[in-house]
Amino acid sequence: MADNTRKSHNKNHYQAMLDDTNNIYFYRIRSRDAAGRLTGHIVGNGLSTEQDFPLPAVISTPSNQTLTAWMKSVT
């Protein structure tokens, strides 16, 4: 595929293909959570490696009461 064709094809996607004198490197974001954090991607230069990053069931910020109780328990 010609260099300008590849750039035109990929310009609107979450991916990048960079020409190098030695190889072509490929990276694509597969998924994000509601907050925009990366939850999966594909990377490779001929062979691909897919990785998914599972999120905890509950993501929350502890309250002051929770932190105070924890500090009392460890002191």
pLDDT of residue 47: 67
Q: By three-state DSSP, how is residue 9 classified?
A: helix
pLDDT confidence bin for 13, thresholds 50/70/90:
very low
Q: What residue spans define the domains of the chain?
A: 3-55
Q: pLDDT, tens digit, for every residue of 26-69?
A: 777 888 888 888 888 877 766 666 667 665 544 455 556 666 66
Is pTM beyond 0.75? Reply is no
Q: How far apart are CA 50 and CA 44, in angstroms?
A: 9
Q: Which of 39, 43, 46, 38 lies closest to 28, judged by CA?
A: 43
Quick one: average pLDDT of 2-13?
50
